[in-house]
Structure 1
Amino acid sequence: MSKMAQAFKIPESFPFTSMDLSTLLVFIVTFVLAVRFFKVKGHVQGNLPPLVPGGWPLVHHMPAFFTKNLPLQLHKWAKEFGDVYRVKWFMNKEVHVVSGYTAIKEMLEKDEFCTRRDRYVEIAVGGDQDILMAPYGEVFKKRRRFATSVFRRLGVKMGQGSIEYQIQEEARFICVKISGYSEQPFDVSSDLTTAAGNIICALVFGKRFDYGDTRFQHLQTTMKKLGEEMARWQIPFITFIPYVQDPAAGLRFYSKKLQLFIREEIDRHRLNLDPENPRDFIDYCLLQLAQQDGNEIWMNDDNVVYILQDLFVAGTDTTAATLTWALLYMILYPDVQQKVQAELDSVLGATKPNLAHRDQLPFTAATIMESQRIRHIAGLMFIRDTAESTRLRGFDIRKGKKLVPNLRSVHMDPEVWPNPDEFDPSRFLDAEGKVVKNPPSFLPFSAGRRNCLGEQLAKMELFLLFSTILQHFTLKVPEGAPTPSTEGINKSLSMGPVPFQLCAVSR
């Protein structure tokens, strides 16, 4: 017998046989594994949201996340499994889907769900250095309070000192541009993007650009390319796929180009900054940098660049997409367009629209709201990370879990909006014909701690640009052209219509 065999030989006096020892070892291993299993299960389980069954082996329901009808599919599952449920998408990884106005509103208002997550948007806007994607916390709060305060100082408000005049001027310029098409077919979305971008320029740089300005055209091209790159990665679940090349190379390239443009403008502002008379957002940022306490720095030079980039990325394409949808529905529903124009003619005559007219133009305001409802520019909101274990709608949500808020389930809920696919502005009018304030199941600007920073500005732009265009033009489908589709495509952070043309006939 070898020395090794002798070393492992069971002594004759040992009270157990080899079979007994094997049984004991199996029992011990089983016991340890069971303890570990139940310890983990006891920790993670509880009253978890229901899990969508079925799916493909290994990838489970991941194929559904690659379809353009994802919000619709998630809405269908919500009808079967409730407002909060779980979906497995790859290697047993899970996401929690939140549907319906009540559940989403509750989620948006809880601090534990206030951190956004989107890998490719974070790459484009600087990760945690901005406001849009910065983790929820004290630094985020200070940056957001600062931006909100600057907006008010720059006139994003009603009354004296409002930015209303600049928006009215931009509305006039876009009407001149539309007149130049001489009632021939054209794509209005490009001009609306230009107008929205110029309003942001007025806020950030203190000036607007002529549409033919070379630097402005360079800015517009960069913004368009950056938006196209962001649209490629609207579903962050695909990040596991291996690539030979960096899939985010385009995002980084065009983001850097936009940042270079912004840095050049910041350098120009530094040369002629008057601390007593700040002119625009950049000036206020430079003053903030100069007066910060060294012991509490929540904004630096790079933060300024990324925050300004937020204003362009989140404030240009979103407004333009909403206006494009609104004008599309005007050519699809000429009776609604005629009613809007009749109201404009009755109240305004030849007077240009101003913000004080909003209460006097309820049908016009309701038409804009219905455009926001029926074609929400984001079927899914930003994914949220769970900062701490908590509860939602009675379910246990563990720390680190990702939640997907399905906005489609809010705006297309037939129990709140009968015949939701029908365009009907009267949904937003009460029995007296006045606009319904704070209508339920309506979240065009999100809600809670991270509601849209530019909500007030966007409302001003939508009303003044939409009403001014319809005051001056009747919009229609070009003769012989097919009826435009109401299917949406991702253009950047927002979903816009499939490209279409219209004719604008002077009134």
Structure 2
Amino acid sequence: MAHVLTLLEHFPFTFLDACTVLVFVVTFVIAVRVLVKTKRPGTLPPLVPGGWPLLHHLPTLFRTDSRLQLDKWAREIGDVYHVRFFRGELCVVSGYEALKEMMEKEEFSTRNDDNVLAATEGGQDILLAPYGEVFKERRRFATSVFRRLGVKMGRGSIQDRIQEEACYICVKISGYGEQPFDVSADLTTAAGNIICALVFGKRFDYGDTRFQHLQTTMKNLGAEMVKWIYPFVTYIPKVQDPFKGLRFHAKKLHQFIREEIDRHRLNLDPENPRDFIDYCLLQLARQDGSGTWLNEDNMVYIILDLFIAGTDTTAATLTWALLYMILYPDVQQKVQAELDSVLGATKPSLAHRDQLPFTTATIMEAQRIRHVVPLMFGRKAAKLTSLRGFDIAEGTFLIPNLRSVHMDPAAWPDPEVFDPSRFLDGDGKVVNNPPSFLPFSTGRRNCLGEQLAKMELFLLFSTILQHFALKLPEGAPTPSTEGTFKSLSMGPAPFQLCAVPR
């Protein structure tokens, strides 16, 4: 210390010196930014200009709605651009054509996040598994089992199970006696029960404490995952063990699933498999330990995928659809008039879809205007690859910005207006596979449960609207249409409605 004081006496540090050092540091940072920018080859996607030292663009994303900011940059810079924050650099992909090109390329088909995979021992499932032969085998197997369990049209369809659940939720709604209630929890239970019917071969009562605990744990796991899969939505700096919550909730869910697997082993009938677990156990027996793409750990992770991807997303979409029925009572009345005209007292079935075009279009418009996954799971470039004329380096992390597709004013005039007629042609029929509409993604990793989700959305939505007129509670404020991330899906902020029997 004495040496330091002696040195300061010989070289006094004045206020002017402090200013000089500060100017030097600022100049150095600016110079580095300029040099880095000028050295970027012209074939790389453009970098978002501006930003703060070290934090780069993170403060801008915090100050505003990050989803709107990403769209704004896309309009100003282009459909493919880079954004920086102190964890690194990401490539954001927006617009229908760019997203379609990206998701159809094998080089961009690995969907994972190293942090999440390391924390949860992931990569053993379908949802986050690296793209390759193992992923393809697991996906083919799951798709085949889904068909055998009735996720299809015609004989042997799972329609009966969904119609049964639709009746249960109507009974539950009736129990509120026209008093205000939050419908989102009941919709989550309904969607979860349909997955349970597929996976476990049974449903749970709405008040079942074990099932409620399962749903709460799934929601908590999703809330932890969103922090690391969507760095723009929620970002928490790494402190101590940032994945403690992720591992904790995943372990609880694994335990629940393993208990169900053990129960199935006790009464497995190889000639009459009942559900997804039975088919998995039979596949394990056929492999006789020699398989490389399915083991019991894989079973647990794949089943967890089915719950994560098939419960929260469907429930959030239905919640948005019912919210917009309240906000647009004229649309609700038109849906109900169509249901009354075609069905009368008959319960809705999948065979009625072609006869109920406005009802179908209303569901599609709910999927468009508030897509529950506006920023999809990130992708990693497997090797140096071209995208929209730009070079994407191996290992680059890409964020697919789906909101930019569904809210593109060039494809959807007045995109914030809820208008089901967008999905009807001049003859009043549903426009199938319209461009700029990707509710289930596309390409090599499109949603595994797309067919099941379409069946659920149609049957649950039409059954509820057939039996109830939905309205805001007397004197209640108009609910917000700004979504919130409570889990992996974006749902409405909490609101209440009243359901009046029709």
| TM-score, structure 1 normalization | 0.88
Contact 1:103 1:393 in 2 (8 A): yes
Amino acid aligned to 1:85: Y
What is the distance in 2 between the residues matched to 1:143 and 1:182?
Answer: 46
Match of 2:102 in 1: 107
Q: Which amino acid aligns with 1:54?
A: G
Separation in structure 2 between the aligned mates of residue 117 and residue 197 of structure 1, nearest angstrom: 25
Give the letter for the 2:84 counterpart: K
Question: Secondary structure, in 3 states, of the residue corresponding to 1:468?
Answer: helix
Paired residue type of 2:476: A
Q: 1:369 to 1:139 in 2, by over 3 A?
A: same
Q: Distance in 2 between matches of 1:422 and 1:219?
A: 36
Rate the CA distance shift 1:185–1:240 in 2: closer, same or farther, 3 A. closer
Aligned match for 2:253, one of 255, 258, 269: 258
Aligned with 1:440: secondary structure? coil
Structure 1 regions of 5+ residues with no counterpart? 1-36
Q: Give the whole-Å Cα distance in 1 for the aligned partners of 2:475 and 2:119.
A: 41
Distance of 1:56 and 1:254 partners within structure 2 = 36
How much has 1:213 moved relative to structure 2? Answer: 2.5
2:123 corresponding residue in structure 1: 128
2:463 to 468, 471, 483: 468
Residues 441-497 of structure 1, C-alpha deviation per residue, up to 9 Å, x if partnerless?
Answer: 000000001000000000000000000000000000000110100010002110000
Conserved 8 A contact 2:220-2:487: no
Matched to 2:145, the amino acid is: V
Aligned to 1:378: 373
Structure 1, 456-465 or 484-493: larger mean CA deviation: 484-493
Offset at residue 322 of structure 1 (A): 0.2
Q: Using the alignment, how far apart are the partners of 1:224 and 1:46 within structure 2?
A: 44
Q: Does 1:162 align with 2:164?
A: no
Partner of 2:418: helix, strand, or coil? coil
SS of the aligned residue for 1:131 comes to coil
Which of 269, 294, 297 is 2:264 aligned to?
Answer: 269
Residue 143 (structure 1) aligned with residue 138 (structure 2)? yes
SS at match of 1:435: coil
Structure 1 partner of 2:472? 477
After TM superposition, give the deviation of residue 412 of structure 1 in Å. 0.3
- 1:240 and 1:470, CA in 2 relative to 1: closer, same or farther beyond 3 A? closer
1:220 CA drift (Å): 2.3
Q: Deviation at 1:218?
A: 2.4
| Structure 1 position 405, deviation (Å) | 1.0
Pairwise CA distance, 1:124: 7.5
Q: How does 1:89-104 map to 2 (within 5 A)?
A: 89-90=85-86, 93-104=88-99
Equivalent runs, 1:19-418 vs 2, <5 Å = 45=41, 47-66=43-62, 69-90=65-86, 93-119=88-114, 122=117, 126-233=121-228, 235-236=230-231, 241-244=237-240, 246-292=241-287, 294-418=289-413
SS of the residue 2:111 aligns to: strand
TM-score by length of 2: 0.89
Q: Find the aligned partners of 1:303 and 1:68 in 2 and give their Cα distance.
A: 40
CA contact 1:112–1:387 (8 Å) conserved in 2: yes
Give how far 1:265 is off: 0.4
SS class of match (2:147) = helix
Higher mean Cα deviation, 167-176 or 72-81? 72-81
Distance 1:74 1:215 in 2: 40
Q: Any conservation in 2 of the 1:389–1:398 contact (CA below 8 Å)?
A: yes
**CA contact 1:355–1:464 (8 Å) conserved in 2:** yes
- Can you list the C-alpha shifts for 1:83-132, whole angstroms capped at 9, x where unaligned? 111122227x3211111000000000000000113356546864101000
Instruction: Report Cα offsets for 1:392-429 as digits up to 9, x if no partner.
Output: 11111111111111111100000000000000000000
Alignment partner of 1:169: what SS? helix
Q: Secondary structure at the match of 2:333?
A: helix
The question of whether the paired residues in 1 share the 8 Å contact of 2:61 and 2:69 is answered with: no
In structure 2, what residue type is equivalent to 1:406?
Answer: N
Moved more, 285-294 or 458-467: 285-294
Q: Structure 1 residues 437 and 124, CA, compared in 2 at 3 Å: closer, same or farther?
A: farther
Aligned-residue identity in percent: 76
Give 3-state SS (helix, strand or coil) of 2:374's partner: coil
One-letter amino acid matched to 2:372: I
Report how many residues are paired. Answer: 466
The residue type equivalent to 2:255 in the other structure is L
Aligned partners of 2:60, 2:265: CA distance in 1, in Å? 50
Q: What is the one-letter code of the residue matched to 1:439?
A: P
- Counterpart pick for 1:431 among 423, 426, 430: 426
Three-state SS of the structure 1 residue aligned to 2:372 is coil
Q: Which amino acid letter does the alignment assign opposite residue 463 of structure 2?
A: T
Whether the 8 Å CA contact 1:66–1:235 is kept in 2: the answer is no
Q: What is the alpha-carbon distance in structure 2 between the residues aligned to residue 66 and residue 417 of structure 1?
A: 28
For the residues of structure 2 that align with 1:482 and 1:192, how far apart are their CA atoms? 22
CA distance in 2, matches of 1:66, 1:259: 34
State whether residues 65 and 235 of structure 1, in contact with CA within 8 Å, keep that contact through their aligned partners in structure 2: no
3-state DSSP of counterpart to 2:500 = strand
User: Cα distance 1:216–1:123, how it changes in 2: closer, same or farther (>3 A)?
Assistant: farther
Q: Which moved more, 1:319-328 or 1:108-117?
A: 108-117
Q: 1:68 to 1:494 in 2, by over 3 A?
A: farther
SS at match of 1:115: coil
How many Å separate the matches in 2 of 1:161 and 1:203? 13
Matched residue, 1:31: none
1:236-266 alpha-carbon deviations (Å, 9 max, x no partner): 377782313x222122111111111110000
CA contact (8 A) 1:428 1:436 kept: yes
Rg larger in structure: 1
Quick one: structure 1 residues 212 and 375, their matched pair in 2 at CA, closer, same or farther if it must change by over 3 Å?
same
For residue 51 of structure 1, report the CA deviation from its aligned partner.
1.5
Distance in 2 (CA, whole Å) between partners of 1:480 and 1:226 is 36
Residues 458, 154 of structure 1: alpha-carbon distance in 2 compared, 3 angstrom cutoff: same
Q: Which residue of 2 aligns with 1:22?
A: none
Match for 2:214: what amino acid?
L
Could you say which residue in structure 2 is the equivalent of 1:506? 501
